[in-house]
């Protein structure tokens, strides 16, 4: 029997995603070589492109894990093509995260893929589906910071290393936020299958406001300071200095 997930077109990588990867690669090369006359513009395009790529991979990880856990409708929805335009909430998953990066240098998590949870059996599978997205951010952060903790940046233009540092900051902040056990975030999705029915019913009315609550808290200076202290501590552990990340942030906001 042929299902939606067996069609090759459901798994073909989208030209939209390939275009974003191409922009990221070209602007990364321009930053690396110093080819760009305005390094800030190149850094902006490079980091934004890489950030969108990571968002696509985040959602792909959710979808692919759900597919192997029993939701065979994933392919027909276009989630395996890495096309951000196929997401259920493109605004929440792409546009708002980019705006938050521009405004505050925060890696905003977003929910995008609709998973038919009733097709999936087993609490561990449900938890793994939720964890797959932020774990992708963790892997992306490790990839961005590898040149730092491997001490392989000698001779590399500072603009490029600073761009990598800022991109790593976004990945670390996204992973931390996503793993918070707050309704609407992946961290809650990890623990939700293990909660009693009564507890889930009590939490359910507040679920749509969980993400708004988190970001409202981040506007509180004391909370914001604690959050970024944690992000900086993780980055330092991965060999990235606060100076590099801050310089990358200032290059990114080339217009200011």
Please state the separation of Cα 96 from the chain's center in Å: 12
Q: Read off φ and ψ for residue 113, nearest 5 degrees.
A: -100, 135
Q: Name the token pair of 9.
A: 């077109």
**Cβ neighbourhood burial of 229 (10 Å; 0-12, 13-18, 19+):** exposed
Paired tokens of 149: 């903790």
Our answer to whether residue 192 is catalytic in this structure is no
Q: How far is CA 49 from the centre of its chain?
A: 12
Q: Which of 37, 38, 59, 159 is catalytic?
A: 59
CA distance 99 to 97: 5
**Torsional sign, CA 186, 191, 197, 201:** negative
Closest CA to 235 of 154, 159, 171, 156: 171
Catalytic center residues: 59
């Amino acid at each position: 029997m042929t299902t939606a997930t067996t069609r090759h077109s459901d798994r073909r990588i989208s030209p939209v995603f390939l275009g974003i990867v191409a922009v990221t690669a070209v602007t990364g090369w321009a930053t690396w070589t110093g080819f760009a006359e305005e390094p800030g513009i190149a850094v902006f395009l490079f980091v934004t492109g890489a950030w969108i790529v990571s968002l696509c991979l985040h959602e792909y990880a959710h979808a692919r894990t759900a597919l192997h856990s029993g939701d065979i409708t994933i392919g027909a929805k276009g989630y395996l093509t890495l096309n951000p335009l196929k997401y259920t909430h493109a605004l929440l998953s792409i546009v708002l995260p980019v705006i938050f990066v521009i405004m505050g240098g925060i890696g905003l998590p977003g929910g995008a893929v609709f998973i038919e949870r009733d097709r999936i059996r087993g609490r561990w599978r449900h938890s793994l589906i939720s964890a797959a997205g932020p774990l992708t951010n963790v892997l992306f952060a490790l990839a961005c910071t590898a040149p730092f903790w491997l001490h392989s940046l000698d001779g590399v233009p500072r603009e490029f290393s600073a761009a990598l540092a800022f991109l790593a900051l976004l990945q670390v902040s996204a992973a931390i936020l996503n793993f918070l056990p707050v309704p609407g975030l992946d961290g809650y999705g990890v623990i939700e299958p293990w909660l009693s029915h009564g507890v889930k019913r009590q939490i359910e009315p507040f679920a749509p406001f969980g993400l708004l609550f988190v970001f409202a808290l981040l506007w509180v200076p004391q909370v914001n300071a604690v959050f970024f202290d944690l992000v900086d501590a993780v980055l330092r552990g991965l060999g990235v200095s606060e100076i590099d990340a801050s310089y990358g942030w200032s290059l990114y906001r080339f217009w200011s």
